[in-house]
Structure 1
Amino acid sequence: MTLPVDPHKYVTFLGIMAVLAVTPGPANLFAIATGMHRGRAAVIRGVAGMSCATLVWFIGAALGLSALVTAFPQVFRILTYAGAAYVAWLGLSSILSGIRNDPDSKTPRTHLERSAFRDGFAVQLSNPKALLFFTAVLPPFVDLARPLPLQMTLFAAATIGMDMITMTAYGLGGAALAVVMTRPDFRRGFRLLVGGLLITAAILIAMRH
């Protein structure tokens, strides 16, 4: 019986993914900022959004989207800078809120959670790290002599699983820090820090392209 993937290649892939998952980047910074600003529930929503975006990339890779983007880089360039601008806007909004020392938002939690999902999806969809992964990291591990759908399923499970674990850990760490520092005079500093993290993530998105 032929396995869907080469076991040795898959183990190597898992090792590379483990390193990539824990390496700080736009997605991890976004998770930290979400945890600090919106809390634990929003972290889960944000990570779910990023995971869905990663799944979209995998589906696109299976359909040859990575080759299309490589052939027409201006498509991904527009997507990248649009995503970077959106994340930068989120960061600037947080910084302005800290400068004004606005009171805590009264927006219902359900809205915050939906917003976190949407924001996480946008961050990961425009993350240049995703294009690098699908054009440089993944292709060497794909065996055209084996069933492609099963291979992509196993690679997607490993990638999304590791990303979910690490991004959730980053996000919950940020949420725990926010819970510890609940004094009003720390709130302004938190908003400024959250804004700085998001703007840094936006810069990384733009520069890594």
Structure 2
Amino acid sequence: MTITAFVAVATLLTMGAISPGPAVLMSARTGVTEGMRTGFFLAMGIGIGAVFWAALALSGLAALFRIAPALLWAFKIAGGVYLVWMGIQMWRSAARPLPDSTGQPPRSAWSAFRLGVITQLSNPKPAVVLSAIFIGTVPPGTPLWVLAALLSFLFFVETLWNTIVARLFSLPATRRAYIGAKSTMDRTFGGFLALLGAKIAAT
């Protein structure tokens, strides 16, 4: 693979990372409710989840989905239901007060990391998108070190972008605006997440 081709793949991976979806939505809400630290570990989990989907895509996941479309359907149903469940939980907890920002984060680093992984894995769309990217740009016989470099870049860009989102939403001005309209904003976050889950399950 030439340097030009590598940059082209990296650009496509970056565009996929910054596109709106459940991961970005979860990063925004985590940043505003639990702060930058928790958002960073969530972002790392999202990055690992993306690498998992990418590794499966490189191993021929697209072909497997074509041979056994019921498998993709099962992934979509399971992931979509989980996202809908998370959205409902956000909606139901909208009236609860925001945790004290001067205390310990309500979610541990491991819990945030795990939530990021689960959020990313609950959406099988990245697997399909990554398969299309790799099939069209990564030729057969590409050295393993190049594939490892692509996966490392994907982890970096997914983690960086979602950390940036969490940071922007953890700023004092954003947090003050959120506190002033917590119930409405939590129901908005939850509603969007549930709609995304329903869309994933239905398409």
Cα deviation per residue 1:66-90 (whole Å; 9 max; x = unaligned)? 4323321222221222122112111
Deviates most, 36-45 or 58-67: 58-67
Say whether residues 1:194 and 2:189 are aligned partners.
yes
Residue 102 (structure 1) aligns with: 96
Alignment map for 1:21-100 (pairs within 5 Å): 21-98=17-94
- What TM-score, normalized to structure 1? 0.80
- What is the identity percentage for the equivalent residue pairs of Structure 1 and Structure 2? 22
Residue 152 (structure 1) aligns with: 147
Residue 143 (structure 1) aligns with: 139
Does structure 1 retain, via aligned residues, the 8 Å contact 2:43–2:113? yes
Does structure 1 retain, via aligned residues, the 8 Å contact 2:49–2:120? yes
- 1:81 and 1:91 map into 2 onto residues whose CA distance is 15
- 1:69 and 1:201 map into 2 onto residues whose CA distance is 21
Residue 13 (structure 1) aligns with: 9
- 2:174 and 2:186 map into 1 onto residues whose CA distance is 10
Cα deviation per residue 1:137-167 (whole Å; 9 max; x = unaligned)? 11222222432x2221121122222222222
1:53–1:201 distance in 2 versus 1, CA, 3 Å:
same
Residue 120 (structure 2) aligns with: 124
Indicate which of 148, 166, 182 corresponds to 1:171. Answer: 166
- 1:40 and 1:91 map into 2 onto residues whose CA distance is 22
Unaligned stretches of 5+ in structure 1? Answer: none
C-alpha RMSD of the superposition: 2.6
Aligned length: 200
Q: What SS does structure 2 have at the residue aligned with 1:13?
A: helix
Residue 115 of structure 1 aligns with an amino acid whose one-letter code is S
- 2:79 and 2:24 map into 1 onto residues whose CA distance is 15
Cα deviation per residue 1:83-131 (whole Å; 9 max; x = unaligned)? 2211211111111122xx2344599636454333222212211323312
Residue 114 (structure 1) aligns with: 110
Structure 1 runs of 4+ aligned residues shifted over 6 Å read none
Unaligned stretches of 5+ in structure 2? Answer: none
Cα deviation per residue 1:25-74 (whole Å; 9 max; x = unaligned)? 22212211222333222211211111111222233234434432332122
